[in-house]
């Protein structure tokens, strides 16, 4: 059976359906040597090219939906490439065969924490749609005195430049002196919304960490800059939220040996992150000595 071109490209991990439609409209996609148009359908034996490169066409039965949980550090941007040469969240991810990772939402450069990636562009697109209202939880460190009245306003709602907004929950989470921690939840993903809500009460945010997306928590053992593949149970939880058919296969085994290998992989990730930090620090020190 034929399928819509943008759906096939999205499933292969090249981006969301909306992104694929934009690429098709821009003339970047061809089918059997002819420039594709919006609405085109393709058969399994069609030769599809994206920017002149042959794309692997696979049916839904041939593609395994994979999801990674990544612990984003501060200082990384959520773009594939940056003209300024800054590190991106894609730099440390493993390669995916015949496709690429698609980020489920974004975190700004000064925010750290849980960021999900999937090889299924359709899943990413549906999870990011506002109608899904996936609950996100953040740990927020504020600097300065926070009045009870301000916290109450953040619960009931304030007016931002792009409309009303509020936290579904605001809970104190400890701290010392003028540095206080809070856990907040909301179901929207507007640009810098958490920071802007606190700023509406003239409260400065000094740290912001996303610790949960839906029912998926940021693994406590996962170092900053590290990733881990989610098991099929969690993948299907996300697929249910997106109204997609459940996945029946996973590249992760469930036997004891596979679990042991996963633990070893996590240890390797931590060692690799430490090595990268040491290398960067050495480079900075060397540059400082040269300038001196």
Considering the domain boundaries, does residue 116 fall inside one?
Answer: no
pLDDT for residue 8 is more than 80: yes
Q: What's the pLDDT at 121?
A: 81
Q: What's the pLDDT at 116?
A: 97
Q: What's the pLDDT at 264?
A: 45
Q: Considering its fold, how many domains does the chain have in total?
A: 2
Q: What's the pLDDT at 11?
A: 77
* Paired tokens of 40: 């085109």
Q: What is the DSSP string of the chain?
A: --EEHHHHHHHTTS--HHHHHHHHHTT-EEETTEE--TT-EE-TT--EEETTEEEPP--TTTPPP-EEEEEEPTT-BSSS--TT---BTTTTSPP-TTS--EEES---TT-EEEEEEES-HHHHHHHHSGGG---EEEEEEEES---HHHHHHHHH-EEETTEEE--SEEEEEEEETTEEEEEEEES---TTHHHHHHHTTT-EEEEEEEEEETTEEPPTTPPTT-EEEPPHHHHHHHHHHTT-PPP---SS--SHHHHHHHHHHHHHHHHHHHHHHHHHHHHHHHHHHHH-
Query: Which CATH number covers residue 49?
Result: 3.10.290.10
**Final residue in a domain of this structure, among 171, 197, 213:** 213
Question: How many other CB atoms are there within 10 angstroms of residue 49's CB atom?
Answer: 15
Considering the domain boundaries, does residue 167 fall inside one?
Answer: yes
pLDDT for residue 5 is more than 80: yes
Considering the domain boundaries, does residue 107 fall inside one?
Answer: no
pLDDT in tens, 265-285: 445 545 555 555 565 566 556
Beta bridge partners of 216: 213
Which among 282, 205, 226 has a CA at the least distance from the CA of 89?
226
Total residues belonging to the chain: 292
pLDDT for residue 262 is more than 50: no
Averaged pLDDT score across all residues of the chain: 86
pLDDT for residue 257 is more than 50: no
Question: How many other CB atoms are there within 10 angstroms of residue 199's CB atom?
Answer: 13
pLDDT band at 261 (very low <50, low <70, confident <90, very high): very low
**Final residue in a domain of this structure, among 167, 182, 213:** 213
Q: Is residue 246 a contact partner of residue 240, using CB atoms and an 8 Å limit?
A: yes
* Cα separation, 191 vs 180, whole angstroms: 23
Of the listed ranges 58-67, 120-129, 202-211, 231-240, the least confidently predicted one is: 58-67
pLDDT in tens, 20-53: 999 999 999 999 999 999 999 998 889 999 999 9
Considering the domain boundaries, does residue 241 fall inside one?
Answer: no
Q: What's the pLDDT at 16?
A: 74
Q: What's the pLDDT at 277?
A: 53
pLDDT band at 255 (very low <50, low <70, confident <90, very high): very low
Q: What's the pLDDT at 287?
A: 56
Considering the domain boundaries, does residue 180 fall inside one?
Answer: yes
**% residues pLDDT > 70 (the chain):** 85
**Final residue in a domain of this structure, among 157, 189, 213:** 213
Q: What's the pLDDT at 260?
A: 39
Q: What are phi and psi of 54, to 5 degrees?
A: -65, 130
Query: Which CATH number covers residue 144?
Result: 3.30.2350.10
Considering the domain boundaries, does residue 263 fall inside one?
Answer: no
Question: How many other CB atoms are there within 10 angstroms of residue 286's CB atom?
Answer: 10
pLDDT in tens, 148-196: 999 999 999 999 998 999 999 999 999 888 899 999 999 987 889 999 9
Considering the domain boundaries, does residue 60 fall inside one?
Answer: no
Compute, in degrees rounded to 10, the torsion defined by CA atoms 11, 104, 271, 218: -130
Strand 112-118 with 67-72, pairing: antiparallel
Domain with 193, as residue range(s), is 135-213
Instruction: Check if 108 is active-site.
Output: yes
Considering the domain boundaries, does residue 169 fall inside one?
Answer: yes
pTM confidence score: 0.76
pLDDT in tens, 99-158: 789 899 999 999 999 999 998 888 888 898 888 889 999 999 999 889 999 999 999 999
**Which entry of 108, 120, 148, 168 is annotated as an active-site residue?**
108
pLDDT band at 98 (very low <50, low <70, confident <90, very high): low
Q: What's the pLDDT at 208?
A: 97
pLDDT band at 286 (very low <50, low <70, confident <90, very high): low
């Amino acid at each position: 059976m034929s399928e819509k071109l943008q759906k096939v490209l999205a499933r292969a991990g090249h981006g969301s359906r909306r992104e694929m439609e934009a690429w098709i409209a821009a003339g970047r996609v061809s089918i059997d040597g002819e420039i594709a148009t919006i609405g085109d359908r393709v058969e399994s034996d069609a030769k599809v090219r994206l920017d002149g490169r042959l794309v692997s066409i696979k049916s839904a039965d041939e593609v395994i939906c994979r999801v990674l949980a990544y612990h984003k550090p501060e200082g990384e941007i959520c773009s594939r490439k940056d003209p300024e040469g800054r590190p991106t969240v894609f730099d440390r991810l493993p390669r995916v065969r015949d496709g690429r990772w698609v980020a489920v939402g974004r975190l700004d450069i000064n925010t750290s924490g849980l960021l999900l990636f999937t090889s299924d562009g359709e899943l990413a697109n549906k999870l990011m749609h506002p109608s899904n209202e996936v609950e996100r939880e953040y740990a927020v460190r504020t600097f300065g005195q926070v009045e009870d009245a301000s916290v109450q306003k953040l619960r009931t709602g304030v007016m931002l430049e792009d409309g009303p907004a509020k936290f579904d929950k605001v809970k104190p989470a400890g701290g010392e002196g003028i540095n206080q921690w809070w856990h907040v939840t909301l179901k929207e993903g507007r640009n810098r919304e958490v920071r802007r809500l606190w700023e509406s009460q003239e409260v400065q945010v000094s740290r912001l960490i996303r610790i949960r997306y839906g029912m998926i928590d940021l693994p406590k053992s996962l170092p900053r800059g590290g990733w881990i593949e989610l098991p099929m149970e969690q993948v299907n939880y996300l697929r249910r939220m997106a109204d997609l058919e459940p996945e029946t296969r996973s590249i992760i085994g469930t036997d004891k040996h596979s679990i042991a290998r996963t633990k070893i992989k996590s240890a390797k990730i931590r060692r690799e992150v430490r090595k990268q930090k040491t290398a960067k620090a050495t480079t900075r020190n060397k540059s400082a000595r040269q300038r001196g």
